[in-house]
A and B are shown apart, each in its own frame.
Chain A
């Protein structure tokens, strides 16, 4: 494992008077795919949103490529190379596929050591998501849920991110789409991308992740190798209600 890209220390987040996150600390190395697991309401989505500064009330340190980004605005964080794929897809339904991709477009980025980050153009994305290539001018509103799920990932990749935060891509979509998503993540990993995946479905996480962190009630309760979690039925029962 190479040096950590993202280091998070004692993250907290609040919705109004309710504290959701209680100081979990974690890190993600270059080229790693890491799962953030936990039951519904454990704070997985909140963690990703807090990293993107999409939650106003938060504290803790977030270092990305060595830089403290905890005081930056969402767009500044995105421009540092942190991509965010929201759980409810949130594609722009009035815009076509190509227009959606264009909104996500950002300049090419480099790793701190000068190596270029994986870069994306629509043509290259269409090889990973052939469905999208067949409907470049279709408006988002007329796409199926699975196609939208693909588009939301592709749109984030247009920003040429170094690390992608992927929020529950398996939730509420057909099993066949979940499978495609797993293939996509493996594909992205090969390109050298790091991924933080928030997930409840352990079968899915098992297919793609190297390591896992498990949250319960906003606190970090377990971390280790994905394979160990997959074999540890006790932990699964206790923390994931399997």
Chain B
């Protein structure tokens, strides 16, 4: 059963086809990687699924509803969480407040709720926020200002934010960019654990092939806006077209070795 269905999606910018007739599905509990050269249309796909861009053609179905052209905030309410290539958090708030903000928005039925002028914000949803932070290993930093955190930690906080609305689908745009190999494995391991515990589906883009080949259930390859391959790690690694436009000879990344730390 699929959570997300992308049907014949297309988007052009000033005559250049960023995404052309792309279709795929994300199954329940699936960990699906979207890879491809820079400018292949991965982020454009993400931005259409999460509502930042409206598709020119095609449809996006989430949990059986067509969400193409919806606003990000409405898509989020349906249960789609997102992390960004450059982590987007609220720098002037504490770590806990960041998550509280998301929880607050997750637990209200309509936007009117945010227009509350009286009650102090500080105590709201505090316990749940700390609980969520504990799950991403950031409970100790709850009181620190978000702007003071190291980048890897900011990514964890962002993950906690994205999980606040109990999403059924998590979109992660280059989740391990700028991380050292071990941090990468830690973060992806964490996400996979959450995926299994909470039965979330994950769609992610990534340039770090060791992460992709080690962890993705299935891989989709985009090039110049078109889907050129789909399959598991072995299929993708052995596909000559993918090697030519994306993977190269593999000299610059480690092929995954079983049992590596």
Contacts and interface: CB of A to CB of B under 8 A. Distances in A.
Contact of B252 (A144, A203, A242): A203
A174 B253 CA distance: 11
Looking at B40, B177, B207, the one whose CB has the most chain A CB atoms below 10 A away is B207
B37 A177 contact: yes
A80 B51 CA distance: 49
Most B CB atoms within 10 A — which of A149, A171, A176, A240? A176
Interface of A: 39-41, 142-149, 170-180, 182, 200-201, 203-204, 207, 237, 240-242
B190 to A, nearest CB: 15
A145 B174 CA distance: 14
B38 A172 contact: yes
Contacts of A145: 37-39
Given A41-B150, A175-B209, A200-B180, A142 B16 contact: yes
Contacts of B249: 179
A176 B179 contact: no
A174 B246 contact: yes
Given A41-B151, A240-B180, A203 B248 contact: no
Interface in B218-261: 243-254, 261
B127 to A, nearest CB: 31
A65 B253 CA distance: 36
Interface residues of B, number: 32
A142 B37 CA distance: 14
Contacts of B38: 144-146, 148-149, 172-174, 177
A143 B16 CA distance: 11
A162 to B, nearest CB: 27
A172 B247 contact: no
A241 B248 contact: no
B183 interface: yes
A27 B222 CA distance: 42
A175 B248 contact: yes
A203 B151 contact: no
Interface in B179-209: 179-183, 207, 209
6 smallest beta-carbon distances between A and B, as pairs: A145-B38, A144-B39, A241-B180, A176-B248, A241-B182, A179-B248
B178 interface: yes
A143 B40 CA distance: 11
Interface of B: 16, 36-40, 150-152, 174, 177-183, 207, 209, 243-254, 261
A178 B252 contact: yes
A interface secondary structure, majority: helix
B250 A175 contact: yes
Contact of A176 (B37, B150, B183, B261): B37
Contacts of A142: 16
Contacts of B177: 171-172
Nearest to B244: A176
B222 to A, nearest CB: 11
Given A172-B177, A176-B244, A182-B251, 10 more contacts: A40-B183, A144-B37, A172-B207, A174-B207, A175-B253, A176-B37, A176-B246, A179-B248, A240-B181, A241-B183
A179 B252 contact: yes
Most chain A Cβ neighbours within 10 Å, of B36, B37, B209, B250: B37
A146 B251 contact: no
A147 B39 CA distance: 10
Contacts of A237: 182, 261
Nearest to A200: B180
Nearest to B180: A241
A175 B39 contact: no
Contacts of B254: 203
B150 A203 contact: no
28 contacts: A39-B183, A40-B151, A40-B179, A40-B180, A41-B151, A145-B37, A147-B39, A170-B252, A172-B207, A174-B207, A174-B248, A175-B209, A175-B250, A175-B253, A176-B37, A176-B246, A176-B248, A177-B37, A178-B248, A179-B249, A179-B252, A180-B248, A182-B252, A201-B252, A204-B252, A207-B251, A240-B180, A240-B181
